[in-house]
Structure 1
């Protein structure tokens, strides 16, 4: 498994922004602790998983506030698609 580094994360949010990286990571960890799912696959501790999200550019300063809503909408759409497929199969 590849290792995640601070440098990987800084490439995503901008060089020389270590302080910003800490704030972004802490905000995302708070969201996880309130039940938000991870946006990347893995079985690491929450800090590592959150850094993986940042390095993958799935968590940014632009979308951090909207992530809970976006994830909930995606799950709702997925459930609706599954329900539609089940209805079609039942017919």
Structure 2
């Protein structure tokens, strides 16, 4: 994928508001030192997070499942 678009991401995450929340949270994780899940050079953190979402590397965990995991 040469360019990431919102439409690419919306195929994985159907809600735009959830998509924005996911991307913002992932940007924070990357800036705090988390490993990038896609190998792209010279990308801004926001673009990297959108590429990860479009590639299906980042998924939503509903609050109920998050509580069960902990």
TM-score bracket for the superposition, by shorter chain length: 0.7 to 0.9
Alignment length (residue pairs): 62
Summarize the alignment of residues 1-91 of structure 1 with structure 2, pairs less than 5 Å apart. 2-14=2-14, 17-43=15-41, 44-62=43-61
Normalising by structure 2, we get a TM-score of: 0.80
Alpha-carbon offset, residue 11 of structure 1: 0.2
Which ranges in structure 1 are unaligned for 5 or more consecutive residues?
67-91
Q: Give the helix-richer structure, 1 or 2.
A: 1
Q: Which has the higher contact order (CA 8 A, sep 6+)?
A: 2
8 Å CA contact 2:31–2:45 kept in 1: the answer is no
Which ranges in structure 2 are unaligned for 5 or more consecutive residues?
none
